[in-house]
A and B are shown apart, each in its own frame.
Chain A
Amino acid sequence: MSVELSSPDLKTDEMIINMGPQHPATHGVLRLILTLDGEICKHVEPVLGHLHRAQEWQGQNRTWFQYQALIDRVDYLSGMYTSWAMARAAEQIDGLVVPKRAEYLRVILSEMNRITSHLLWLGTYLIDLGAMFGFPFYPFREREKLFDLFEEVAGQRMMFNYIRIGGVLRNPPFGWFDKLKRFTDEFPDRIDEYEAIVTENPIFLKRTKGVGILKKETAMAYGVTGPCIRASGIPLDLRKTKPYSVYPELDFKVQTMDGDGDTWARYMCRIREMRESNEIIRQAIEKIPGGTTEELRKLLGTTGPEKDESKDLDPSFLLMAKKQNAGLRVKAGEGFAAVESPRGTIGCYVISNGSDKAYRFKWRNPSFCNLSVLPELLVGAPIADIMAIFGSIDVILPDVDR
């Protein structure tokens, strides 16, 4: 995608522009040093680290219990996944088997989180394309509903701290599953609405088709994961390629796009993933052991939404395989676990020495790896496409800088 704007008689000079860290469209504090020839980008240098919060170091200086609450903030749009990766790594060291019901709840809430994350991406991406006040707010309509559901079950709208080492925090309240079911029934219609406005919009197609082409080889070489690599045609999805939790019991497809892997493919891939996540939630609601909270109460013969999950019943109805307290300890050893977040593969490598703090944490964050491919995509693109391309990669700056 390059535009010829030069002429041999014209003396031109390159211009260096600092885009960010304070720029309305860099989604946080990314700084891009752009060398421009006219409006064409000749060289890009991303400057990272404005939001470095030493998350790994903090992990080594806080107890497991504290860090569990902190780690949600790394990727604040999909907090479930970071918690889940850490919980799985610790469970691996401890050799815990998470109860089935807890696994299902993890899947349901994570897929909900995937939808909210993609919805936010959809809104902000359209803002990046200049649809300044228009439909960006429509996705927030659905997102708010999901957040209300999150709030009911986790007590928080964005920083859930719901997935814990050994299980999940609590059962959803009465009526929660019904609400979620209603949401899954109407959500496909809502996606149809977005698609009606966006997918066939001629200006949107012009801005996205053939822009920011990410080839398979480049994507693999840079370690790109998530919807970005699936849009380039590689079916890399840990839920299928390296199944974890109860995903093998659920029926869903990995969404890949044929073709170049341009920004339109990345958009389309995310739209399809939202539909797929919706299906996963629908299935998981049906398959969850113990059924809805009301049914579970009936089964257990207790009333009221109080705790005490009656120890002698089916262990798959439990929520926790480990007692949660401030002095939570994990056995000595090392573990690695990866989950498929809305942005790609989140990996957590942790060494424990058996105390209440981890000895070493190392995170593999999808945003960081995906961002590394940005200079490759931007060189040769006009300045107006920078945000169209950058937005399509969907990075979260705290996730990049940690």
Chain B
Amino acid sequence: MTSSAVPYNLNEIGKFFLLSGVWLGIIFGAVWAACWAVGMLVPQLILNAYPNDPCALNVANAIRLLTPLVGVMVFIPINAMYMVLAERRGLALFTVRKGPNRVGPDGFLQTAADAVKLLFKENINPHGGDVLMFTLAPIIFFAPSVFGAIPLLAAVTSNHDLFKIVNLPTGIFYVLAMSSIPVVGIVMGGWASNNKYSLVGGLRSAAQAISYEIPLVLAIITTCFLVGSLDVVNIAQMQKGTDNLASFGFLNWNFFGAGAIPHYLDLLMQGKLEGAQVVTSAFWSLALAFCCILLCGIYLTGACAEINRIPFDLPEAESELVSGYNTEYSGIRFAIFFLAEFTNLFIVSTVAVVMWFGGGATPFPGFLDANTFASIATPFNQALAQAGLPPLMDGQTMSGAFWAIFKTYALVYFAILVRGTLPRFRIDQLLDFGWKKLIPLSLILLLAVTYIRELV
């Protein structure tokens, strides 16, 4: 352990990046291929086989409608596998260990092996437990997170034709409404396990979810209020900046005051501000940006609590409650709980990206934007066109998906880092923090944003 300038575990960090690259390639290659097959290839083959047949047209359209569903279904299990592996390797990096590095090449297949193992394990029903509710609990925990995520697909693919249908005018409310259902699953699982630790874990989860959903929703409402839209696609698109403001890149994101700073800079450069206005406008723009950063912080804190991650993982506090609500679960049921936990982490990160970090917008104008990806996609599409197949990618969607994924995983890694750093709250401190600090703060911010918005 010499204190040289180069980190001694540079090698491990390199391996971690390699692993992430390979897995992300697998995930998005698979999802892209599935979406392309269902949304473009199969409908076109049907139409080619039965030209001018209205029935075939209906069938083809129906299959196209399935694309978002298929995309999500392919994405979730593979993504959860990668996230578990990334979390274990990432934590190992933070704690001077190696992490799983035995199964497959350098541990790449560890979670795949774990998944297979869990599938083949026995489903144990606890003695005296309510079997029906015990079985339903993981499903109720998992299903909403899948359905809740669907509107976000339109936002992260720049409103691609295939995903347009899943967009809702009130998309973000739908996402929030769905994300509050899983707690029912936790309480059910805790109660049905006939285990005191599980019961305490389930009840804690209910208390925690209620207290932290309020600041979380308030933070999102405030931002929607600032942006003036509930439509996730709209919110994401607006953060690209309109007209001449687009050149300011990441300053357009809601994180930096929902366009207040570019607006100010633009006016300043055009020389439309005079005298004291230069200072006051700057002040209010920065104040709005500060409010937005705080809102994002509140959202991330609330989201951490909502998905039971350290430092808010009280429902499954290992040192107190063994494993909390999932103590009695085994086999596939446990796997579903596990899967849902990581999917939820991904979804809350995506919501944060769409709401604050510009969705699919590139942070620097011209850097890896739609044109760059279009130039990559053109040869593929030409080759496919020669074979008589539909085009595989278009630059706009590729760029949007790439940046949305990049930002989402940045937030996921941030969550892993937090997990590697902080101890756990106590339940009463947690509730105090939620009710006495976060809720007043988010209400104050709602008021502040209302006024500052007019002054900018």
Contact = CB atoms under 8 A, between A and B. Distances in A.
B196 A206 contact: no
Chain B interface size, under 10 / 10 to 19 / 20 to 34 / 35 or more: 20 to 34
Interface stretch (A248-256, A303-311, A382-390): A382-390
B420 interface: yes
A131 interface: yes
B122 interface: no
B427 A382 contact: yes
A203 B423 contact: yes
Interface residues of A, number: 36
A201 B318 contact: no
B314 A384 contact: yes
Nearest to A204: B423
A128 interface: yes
B141 interface: no
A203 B311 CA distance: 9
Contact of A382 (B319, B424, B426): B426
B95 interface: yes
Contacts of B427: 39, 382, 384
B422 interface: yes
B428 A135 contact: no
A188 to B, nearest CB: 13
A197 interface: yes
Contacts of B428: 3, 382
Interface string B191-202: 000001100100
A382 B425 CA distance: 12
Interface of A is mostly: helix
Interface in A206-236: 206-207
Contacts of B314: 384
B421 A135 contact: yes
Contacts of B317: 130, 384
Interface string B298-329: 00000000000011011001111010000000
Interface in A17-50: 17, 23-25, 39
A290 interface: no
B424 A129 contact: yes
Contacts of B419: 132-134
B97 A137 contact: yes
Contacts, number: 96
Interface string A126-153: 1111111111111011000000000000
B96 interface: yes
Given A197-B421, A384-B314, A128 B196 contact: no
A15 interface: yes
Contact of A203 (B97, B318, B319, B425): B425
A383 B421 CA distance: 23
B96 A137 contact: yes
Interface string B390-430: 00000000000000000000000000000111111111110
B320 A131 contact: no
Contact of B310 (A132, A136, A186, A206): A132
Contacts of A203: 311, 422-425
A133 B95 contact: yes
Contacts of B380: none
Nearest to A26: B319
B10 interface: no
A132 B429 contact: no
A395 to B, nearest CB: 15
Among B200, B314, B419, B422, chain A packs the most CB atoms within 10 A around the CB of: B422
A376 to B, nearest CB: 20
A186 B314 CA distance: 37
B258 interface: no
Contacts of B17: none
B214 to A, nearest CB: 20
B211 to A, nearest CB: 15
Contacts of A138: 95-96
A384 B97 CA distance: 29
A384 B318 CA distance: 10
Interface in B87-131: 91, 94-97
B34 to A, nearest CB: 33
Contacts of B55: none
B319 A127 contact: yes
Contacts of B319: 24-25, 127-130, 387
Among B319, B424, B426, B429, chain A packs the most CB atoms within 10 A around the CB of: B319
B288 to A, nearest CB: 28
B269 interface: no
Contact of B424 (A24, A131, A136, A140): A131
Given A23-B322, A141-B1, A130 B423 contact: yes
A131 B423 contact: yes
A130 B313 contact: yes
A204 B311 CA distance: 11
Among B96, B424, B426, chain A packs the most CB atoms within 10 A around the CB of: B426
Contacts of B429: 206-207
Contact of B320 (A25, A126, A201, A206): A25
Nearest to B204: A39
Nearest to B430: A384
Contacts of B196: 15, 17
Contact of B426 (A127, A197, A385): A385
Nearest to A123: B95
Given A135-B95, A203-B425, A388-B426, 13 more contacts: A17-B196, A24-B318, A39-B427, A129-B423, A131-B422, A132-B419, A133-B94, A135-B421, A186-B1, A197-B421, A201-B422, A201-B423, A384-B320
Interface of B: 1, 91, 94-97, 196-197, 200, 310-311, 313-314, 317-320, 322, 419-429
Q: Which 3 A-B pairs have the closest CB atoms?
A: A130-B424, A25-B319, A137-B95
29 contacts: A24-B318, A25-B320, A39-B200, A39-B427, A129-B319, A129-B423, A130-B310, A130-B311, A130-B318, A130-B319, A130-B424, A131-B310, A131-B421, A132-B419, A133-B420, A134-B91, A135-B95, A135-B420, A138-B96, A140-B96, A201-B422, A203-B424, A203-B425, A206-B426, A207-B425, A382-B427, A383-B200, A384-B314, A384-B317
